[in-house]
């Protein structure tokens, strides 16, 4: 079967066959946009994998790693999905690749609380004109319109689920002007915020907010919670009575939150301190990533269950998610600590690190008393300070270099960024190998095809005699190798497993 290389600035070569590409095409997962193109023999047109046209039959598809190859074979570009706009392949590659990252940053609230298109453009290395043009071409609306939609939807939820005043709702949603908020709300929804509030059953204010986050069923909550519990940093995180709790410091706001499933509904209940209200947009975005709420479990399971080696586990645990990260830097440090030692030992080291470098915080939950150590704090820590905690010298140096890179924003660990380029930058740091880079891509960057090759737990669970054999087996799981890894790890419970790196 034909295959082609999709290597893009990343040390580990990836080769996808036609079947893998067709599965990604059928899923229309935006995370695969720009990685390949599909030519349809009956129409003579080639498209991006996210094209909204009806998915053609498998026999009519031809797959290419770039647009030039498709055109050389006589295919014409689709006028609907416009292959010239695919991230990573357009003439102004850096602009259009970054456009999707910009959309993710906007969803997380980058244009709220004084944020501007100009500041976001500078952060992404573009001019404001380039950013506006790229976002408009990619999504059909301007950055400001994207932000307005996010603000209005959050405002609608706050009006329905909380007792925040209309003014508080406007400010929390990211509007700087209440008059502007009222005007947009009325023009978009046909009624005033006050009228919507009267028709809702908002809860009384008890010093905390309660909101809901929806997901596509099924959702294997207990396995995901077990995964997080095994790695919960003492003082920062805790799992109690089927709920996940943690301390939070976001955008200068500090507090705590709690997440648990709602019985009889396809949604999670989020309870958080009112001190976090100004950062609510960012927090909800991070929680959706932490719990993988945007996943398509039906599509993923349909593919993975075709492999007899893991099908019984997929069928026995429908809706298993890939645990994400509330904070990318926190997750990356945890990955470094987990190199070549047990999960239990790495978790203990993470707790010691939090006590030594995390700031204390008071919460109504006794076990939550520390904030996660920040990149700025660890960037200024001497390696000897980390070594005194029992962290090896090599890992102490790796954590310091990682912290300085994140603090200086030469490395950004957020979903929506091009995973291979971020992984490539991680690999340039001392003490960061392929396992760590893939693990970070898998959880912090939300890359569904990331695969922590060489992981001893995966070798045991499959089982496989070598990393090469494991990688060969994993080819059948593309483009959702990260989900296959979670199924294999879950199979090891309650056996202690080790993690590793180069």
Q: Are 236 and 264 in contact (CB under 8 A)?
A: no
**What's the rounded Cα separation, in Å, for the pair 335 and 196?**
45
Active site residue 455: yes
Using a 10 angstrom Cβ sphere, with 0-12 exposed, 13-18 middle and 19 or more buried, the burial of residue 335 is buried
Chain mean position to CA 36: 21
DSSP 152-184: HHHHHHHHHH----HHHHHHHTT-S-HHHHHHH
User: Helices in 305-452 by DSSP H: which ranges?
Assistant: 311-316, 328-337, 343-357, 375-379, 383-387, 393-407, 419-427, 434-443
Residues 60/41, Cβ–Cβ less than 8 Å: yes
Instruction: Please give the structure tokens belonging to residue 136.
Output: 């408009």
User: From edge to edge, which strands make up the β-sheet containing 45-47?
Assistant: 61-64, 37-40, 45-47, 76-77
Rg (CA), the chain: 23
User: Smallest Cα–Cα separation from 194: which of 229, 155, 228?
Assistant: 155
Let me know if 47 is a catalytic residue.
yes
Are the C-beta atoms of 383 and 392 separated by less than 8 Å? Answer: no
DSSP run (H or E) holding 261? strand 253-261
Candidate list 33, 449, 455, 490, residue with the active-site label: 455
Burial zone of 106 (CB within 10 Å; 0-12 exposed, 13-18 middle, 19+ buried)? buried
CB 78 within 8 A of CB 51: yes
Query: Out of 21, 33, 47, 81, which one is annotated catalytic?
Result: 47
List residues with catalytic annotation.
47, 455
């Amino acid at each position: 079967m034909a295959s082609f290389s999709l290597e893009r600035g990343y040390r580990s070569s990836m080769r996808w066959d036609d079947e893998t590409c067709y599965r990604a095409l059928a899923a229309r997962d935006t995370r695969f946009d720009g990685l390949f193109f599909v030519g349809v023999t009956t129409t003579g047109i080639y498209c991006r994998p996210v094209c909204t046209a009806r998915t053609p039959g498998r026999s009519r598809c031809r797959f290419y790693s770039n647009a030039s190859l498709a055109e050389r074979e006589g295919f014409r570009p689709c006028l609907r999905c416009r292959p010239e706009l695919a991230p990573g392949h357009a003439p102004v590659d850096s602009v259009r690749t970054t456009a999707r990252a910009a959309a993710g940053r906007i969803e997380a609230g980058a244009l709220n609380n004084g944020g501007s298109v100009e500041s976001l453009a500078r952060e992404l290395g573009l001019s404001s004109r380039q950013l506006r043009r790229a976002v408009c071409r990619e999504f059909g609306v301007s950055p400001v319109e994207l932000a307005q939609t996010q603000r209005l939807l959050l405002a609608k939820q706050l009006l329905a689920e909380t007792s925040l005043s209309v003014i508080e709702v406007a400010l929390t949603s990211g509007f700087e002007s209440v008059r502007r908020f009222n005007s947009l709300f009325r023009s978009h929804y046909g009624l005033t915020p006050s009228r919507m509030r009267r028709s809702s059953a908002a809860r009384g204010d008890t010093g905390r907010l309660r909101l809901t986050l929806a997901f596509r069923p099924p959702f294997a909550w207990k396995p995901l919670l077990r995964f997080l519990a095994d790695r919960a940093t003492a003082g920062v995180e805790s799992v109690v009575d089927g709920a996940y709790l943690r301390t939070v410091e976001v955008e200068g706001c500090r507090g705590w939150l709690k997440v648990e499933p709602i019985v009889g509904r396809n949604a999670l209940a989020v309870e958080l301190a009112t001190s976090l209200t100004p950062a609510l947009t960012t927090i909800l975005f991070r929680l959706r990533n932490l719990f993988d709420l945007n996943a398509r479990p039906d599509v993923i399971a349909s593919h993975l269950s075709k492999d007899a080696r893991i099908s019984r586990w997929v069928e026995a645990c429908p809706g298993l998610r890939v645990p994400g990260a509330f904070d990318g830097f926190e997750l990356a440090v945890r990955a470094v600590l987990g190199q070549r030692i047990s999960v239990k030992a790495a978790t203990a080291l993470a707790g010691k690190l939090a006590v030594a470098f995390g700031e204390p915080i008071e919460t109504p939950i006794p076990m939550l008393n520390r904030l996660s150590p920040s990149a700025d704090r660890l960037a200024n820590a001497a390696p000897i300070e980390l070594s005194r905690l029992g962290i090896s010298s090599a890992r102490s140096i790796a954590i310091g270099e990682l912290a300085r890179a994140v603090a200086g924003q030469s490395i950004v660990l957020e979903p929506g960024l091009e995973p291979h380029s971020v992984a490539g930058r991680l690999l340039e740091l001392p003490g960061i190998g392929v396992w760590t880079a893939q693990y970070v891509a898998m959880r912090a960057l939300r890359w569904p095809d990331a695969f922590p090759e060489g992981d001893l737990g995966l070798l045991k669970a499959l089982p496989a005699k070598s990393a090469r054999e494991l990688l060969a087996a994993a080819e059948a799981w593309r483009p959702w190798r990260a989900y296959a890894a979670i199924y294999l790890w879950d199979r090891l419970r309650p056996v202690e497993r080790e993690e590793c790196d180069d």
